[in-house]
Amino acid sequence: MTDIVVGANAERSRNHNRKVVLGRVRAAGQIGRAEIARASGLSTQAVSNIIADLLDDGLILEDGRRTAGRGLPAVQYTLNPEGGFALGVEVRPDAVFATLLNLRGQTVVSDRHALAKPDHANIATAVTSLRDRVLHMSNTPADRVLGAGIVMPGPFGKSGILGDGSEFQIWDDHDPVTWFSEILQMTVLVENDANAAAIAERITGVAQDLETYAFIYFGSGLGLGVVHKGRLMAGAFGNAGEIGHIPVQSGGQQVMLESVVSRLSVQRALASSGTPAGSVDDLDRLYSQGNLPLLDWLDAAVAPLSTAIVTVENLFDPQAVILGGAMPDTVLDHLVATIHLSDRSVSHRDHRDHPRLLRGASGRRTATLGAATLVIDQAFTPTITAQL
């Protein structure tokens, strides 16, 4: 059974069809009405009506004409990068980060606000201040912002997981979607940082030609975002992918994965050796210097992370597993090169189209960008599918 996104005629929603057409324009870069109709299953008249609406709303632009056979050259359409914007907000225990992306997923401006204390009052002040600053810095009208994506570490809500210092659970008694919507006065999407980073890879990263993949995200802890046929697998309560809390063998004992494979774990290992590393840039510098405690941590991380990857492969059968997040490229590349990819995996097969393991986006603002791409993804991704 194949899940195919198609257009829906009169009996289906107008919003769905707009997303189908807008998604076709984005995917093609430049496309005419007849091509959209053939690809989507919508009538030419329906496509023409939607194109007219999208032009009126400023989301697309006419982009010349193309001759194809008889008749007048067909008008071509392309995205208007300034037709809409997405606000991304990442809430961490010590700071709030914000970024503004245009409709093509390009960064317009970014900013940061330190948190003296991660309570609701301070977060509200930081978030509204950042919203106002990025709109002012970019001269963006508020009515051109399609919505805000909010990301923060999971798990969400009260659960049986007590982590290793990476959890952020001030939302246990609040609905963050309602709370942030009221604070920001706009449509809000809330995800954990791993899920947001996974969607960002689909919009601007190495997963642009993948439909089903897994993203292992280095935040303070370790998270997992799984995308199946272009859609996130969120779980019943939004907590799918808490891979950092699975038990693994390390140093002859059973431990939680993120206690030996995460940014917190490497920072603790370095601090115990008298080499503090508080940032991604610090880790990059230490790696380039051949820092022995860092190399020892990497050696110790290989076996448990290899176990986690084969587990992910056998559970979700992804086209690829992607490593990314708040680690430098050098460290992620080292892990990709040294991870042992087990033969006892459904992903071990001939004639693969993609490597089993890829390095994705990295850096301290990976999740912030992911937050904004949640909004862009929603603008282009229909939610109605046809089962054939």
- Contact by Cβ (8 Å): 262, 162: no
pLDDT of residue 165: 47
Cα pseudo-dihedral 213, 209, 353, 333, rounded to 10:
-70
What pLDDT does 2 receive? 39
Integer-rounded Cα Rg, in Å, for the chain is 22
User: HSE of 112 in the Cβ direction (CA atoms, 13 Å)?
Assistant: 8
Whole-number Cα distances in Å, 185 to 127, 128, 181, 228: 11, 10, 5, 31
pLDDT of 231: 86
Sheet holding 60-66, edge to edge: 31-32, 74-79, 60-66
Tokens found for residue 193: 């940082």
| Cα–Cα dist 374/308, whole Å | 26
Tell me how far apart the alpha carbons of residues 314 and 309 are, in angstroms, rounded to a whole number: 9
**pLDDT average per 10 residues of sequence, the chain (388 residues):** 46 78 90 90 91 94 78 86 95 91 93 90 94 96 95 64 52 80 94 88 88 92 91 81 89 91 93 89 95 96 96 96 94 96 94 92 84 90 55
Beta-carbon contacts of 345 under 8 Å, excluding residues fewer than 6 positions away, are 310, 313, 314, 356
pLDDT at position 386 is 42
Task: Judge contact between 334 and 299, C-beta under 8 A.
Answer: no
What does the alpha-carbon distance between residue 215 and residue 206 come to, in Å, rounded to a whole number? Answer: 11
Residue 69 CA: distances (Å) to CA of 1, 32, 66, 72: 36, 14, 10, 9
> Whose CA is closest to 61, among 35, 14, 25?
25
Greatest extent of the chain over all pairs of C-alpha atoms, in Å: 75
Q: What is the pTM of this model?
A: 0.80
